[in-house]
């Protein structure tokens, strides 16, 4: 299996392997890596996969993509990752051995609504599904190259904690994570700052999240420093992260159906388009998915595209802080992967359109006079639909799900359930991906229900644990100095 950039002009010349792109983010031409051709899954395979555990299913899916990793190594890394011990934070009435348990909420008039639980990992959000595997892949590849990596990131909550829990204690890896001092929730702060591992460095910046991101950019743009200090990232455009998410679409499908002649649809609370991009890949591999429904909050860049054919990125000042903060994005960094397929894998056109985003802020594929193309007309063939929710919708949905089905869902999942209910069809189960547990966003749960969300065992007193972090002014030079001091490079 070979990979190329979404902006590659000459496909034959620029192919790379899975291990060659494993540690990377953007391709040097500014594009994202994609397989040269999607591997297909046969009817026989799908039938045989019905009997497999999560880890064994993961092996079958990933060996189609990681073809340059010895199969025994791939298996060992996967089996070390997908265990009921690591994904133990499922609801008490669910089976942790399933890793991603499916819960049917309702079966009425031939319409099935179900939740696929992806939040049983250490940080109670779906990012653990891919990030835990990435930690093991990174450690393996760095050992093979006799190399080390210093991961620098900025977080307002979810990504930083998922990265730290994935990389803690890993050989050859250090994590320097910047967060806005005093601006994360008490729960998120405690989760990150209570990690005792010596390879994890929490840097609380006196500023807001955008300041943290600017420091990461400034440090990464200092190329001599970046190379000397072996600086890398783990952002959502990393190919291995996307492909690890493909597994649970297969899993959800196989749990919800009895035969391969049936179809299912998925609704995905979306921000950077990483999660639902994995659903698109599963569908391109031949998984019988009817619809992929993109659910956004008030930051509706993606909903706008799937309604109108216009992709218009927002300015930071236009990006709203909402009660589903992990979906508060101004542009969807993985969206380019779908556009690449929509444009018939034409790297030259993808390149032109995304350069236009930089100069003009939008592109228009609606086919209207003066637009940049008419490929929006092909979107239905890819199964995509969309919807959005507001804060009031999420509150109402949290209350409704509690009353009707007796469980408390988080704000991001509420966004998914709200939109899913508008897109259900008889005879086709609708699976909503549960992207976080309610305990992480307790402030809004209290607003909706007047009571606290339940916390999984072991998290009861997390705020009382000792915390390790350093406070720094909003200055890239001080961060650089701190990194150099702690890497000894």
Ligand X SMILES: *Cc1c(COP(=O)(O)O)cnc(C)c1O
Interface with ligand X (CB under 6 A), residue total 16
46: Cα within 13 Å, side-chain hemisphere: 23
For residue 264, the SS3 value is: strand
Assess 5 for contact with ligand X (CB under 6 A). Answer: no
Smallest separation (angstroms) from ligand X to the CB of 71:
28
**Residue 415 phi/psi, 5° resolution?**
-60, -45
Which among 41-49, 171-179, 200-208, 265-273 is the span making contact with ligand X, rule CB under 6 A? 265-273
From 127, 170, 291, 440, active-site residue: 127
Is the distance from CB of 90 to CB of 117 less than 8 angstroms? yes
Question: Which one of 25, 274, 279, 387 is in contact with ligand X (CB under 6 A)?
Answer: 274
Alpha-helical runs (H) found in 343-390: 347-360
Smallest separation (angstroms) from ligand X to the CB of 332:
7
Assess 269 for contact with ligand X (CB under 6 A). Answer: yes
Smallest separation (angstroms) from ligand X to the CB of 225:
29
Radius of gyration of the chain (CA): 21
Assess 442 for contact with ligand X (CB under 6 A). Answer: no
For residue 464, the SS3 value is: helix
Assess 128 for contact with ligand X (CB under 6 A). Answer: no
Is the distance from CB of 219 to CB of 225 less than 8 angstroms? yes
Smallest separation (angstroms) from ligand X to the CB of 348:
27
Assess 236 for contact with ligand X (CB under 6 A). Answer: yes
Extended strands (E) in 76-141? 102-108, 111-117
Question: Which one of 275, 322, 323, 444 is in contact with ligand X (CB under 6 A)?
Answer: 275
Assess 25 for contact with ligand X (CB under 6 A). Answer: no
Smallest separation (angstroms) from ligand X to the CB of 74:
24
Tell which positions 279-338 bind ligand X, by CB under 6 A.
326-327
User: Which of 323, 351 has the CB closer to ligand X?
Assistant: 323
Question: Which one of 41, 205, 436, 479 is in contact with ligand X (CB under 6 A)?
Answer: 436
Binding mask 154-173 for ligand X (x = CB under 6 A): ----x---------------
Contacts of 379 (CB under 8 A, 6+ apart): 306, 309, 342
Instruction: Mark whether 127 is an active-site residue.
Output: yes
The encoded tokens of residue 358 equal: 């930089």
Q: How far apart are CA 150 and CA 141, in angstroms?
A: 14
Is the distance from CB of 340 to CB of 450 less than 8 angstroms? no
Contacts of 40 (CB under 8 A, 6+ apart): 285, 286
Which among 26-34, 106-114, 250-258, 272-280 is the span making contact with ligand X, rule CB under 6 A? 272-280
Which among 61-69, 71-79, 144-152, 266-274 is the span making contact with ligand X, rule CB under 6 A? 266-274
Per DSSP, 332 falls in state -
User: Which of 391, 412 has the CB closer to ligand X?
Assistant: 412
User: Which of 199, 323 has the CB closer to ligand X?
Assistant: 323
- Using alpha carbons, select from 173, 177, 176 the residue that is nearest to residue 147: 173
CA distances from 2 to 15, 69, 98, 130, 346 (A): 6, 13, 31, 21, 17
Question: Which one of 272, 323, 351, 386 is in contact with ligand X (CB under 6 A)?
Answer: 272
Assess 271 for contact with ligand X (CB under 6 A). Answer: yes
Smallest separation (angstroms) from ligand X to the CB of 10:
30
Q: How far apart are CA 152 and CA 220, in angstroms?
A: 9
Q: How far apart are CA 59 and CA 284, in angstroms?
A: 19
Q: How far apart are CA 123 and CA 163, in angstroms?
A: 10
Smallest separation (angstroms) from ligand X to the CB of 119:
8
The encoded tokens of residue 379 equal: 């979107």
Question: Which one of 125, 365, 439, 472 is in contact with ligand X (CB under 6 A)?
Answer: 125
Question: Which one of 82, 273, 340, 384 is in contact with ligand X (CB under 6 A)?
Answer: 273
Question: Which one of 238, 435, 442, 444 is in contact with ligand X (CB under 6 A)?
Answer: 435
The encoded tokens of residue 427 equal: 């005879």
Active site residues: 127
By CB under 6 A, name the binding residues for ligand X: 125, 127, 158, 236, 269-275, 326-327, 412, 435-436
């Amino acid at each position: 299996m070979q990979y190329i950039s979404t902006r590659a002009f000459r496909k034959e010349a620029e192919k790379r392997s899975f291990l060659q792109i494993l540690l990377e983010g953007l391709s040097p031409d500014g594009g994202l890596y994609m397989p040269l051709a999607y591997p297909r899954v046969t009817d026989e395979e799908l039938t045989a996969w019905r009997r497999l555990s999560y880890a064994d299913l993961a092996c079958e899916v990933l060996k189609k993509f990681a073809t340059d990793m010895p199969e025994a190594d791939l298996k060992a890394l996967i089996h070390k990752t997908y265990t009921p011990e690591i994904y133990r934070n499922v609801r008490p009435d669910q089976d942790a051995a399933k890793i991603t348990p499916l819960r049917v909420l309702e079966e009425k008039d031939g319409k099935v609504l179900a939740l696929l639980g992806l939040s049983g990992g250490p940080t109670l959000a779906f990012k653990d599904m891919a990030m835990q595997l990435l930690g093991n892949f990174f450690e393996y590849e760095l050992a093979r190259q006799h190399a080390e990596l210093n991961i620098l990131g900025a977080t307002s909550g979810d990504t930083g904690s998922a990265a730290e829990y994935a990389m803690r204690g890993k050989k050859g890896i250090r994590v320097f994570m910047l967060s806005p001092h005093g601006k994360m929730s008490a729960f998120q702060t405690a989760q990150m700052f209570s990690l005792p591992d010596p390879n994890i460095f929490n840097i609380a910046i006196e500023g807001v999240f955008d300041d943290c991101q600017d420091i990461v950019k400034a440090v990464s743009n200092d190329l001599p420093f970046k190379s000397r200090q072996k600086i890398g990232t783990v952002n959502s455009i990393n190919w291995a992260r996307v492909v690890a998410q493909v597994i649970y679409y297969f899993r959800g499908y196989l749990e919800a159906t009895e035969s391969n002649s049936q179809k299912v649809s998925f609704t995905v609370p979306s921000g950077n388009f990483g999660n639902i991009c994995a659903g698109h890949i599963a569908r391109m591999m031949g998984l019988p998915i009817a619809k992929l429904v993109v659910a956004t909050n008030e930051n509706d860049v993606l909903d706008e595209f799937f309604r109108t054919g216009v992709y218009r990125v927002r300015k930071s000042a236009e990006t709203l802080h909402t009660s589903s903060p992990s979906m508060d994005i101004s542009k969807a960094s993985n969206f380019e992967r779908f556009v690449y397929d929509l444009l018939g894998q034409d790297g030259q056109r993808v390149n032109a359109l995304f350069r236009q985003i930089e100069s003009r802020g939008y592109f228009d594929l609606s086919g209207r006079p003066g637009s940049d193309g008419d490929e929006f007309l092909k979107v239905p063939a890819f199964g995509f639909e969309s919807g959005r929710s507001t804060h009031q919708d999420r509150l109402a949905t949290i209350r409704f799900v509690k009353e009707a089905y007796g469980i408390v869902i988080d704000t991001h999942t509420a966004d998914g359930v709200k939109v899913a209910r508008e897109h259900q069809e008889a005879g086709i189960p609708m699976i909503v991906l549960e992207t976080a547990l309610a305990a992480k966003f307790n402030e809004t749960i209290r607003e909706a229900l007047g009571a606290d969300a339940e916390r999984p065992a072991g998290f009861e007193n997390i705020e009382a644990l000792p915390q390790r972090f350093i406070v720094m002014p909003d200055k890239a030079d001080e961060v650089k100095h701190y990194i150099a001091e702690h890497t000894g490079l």
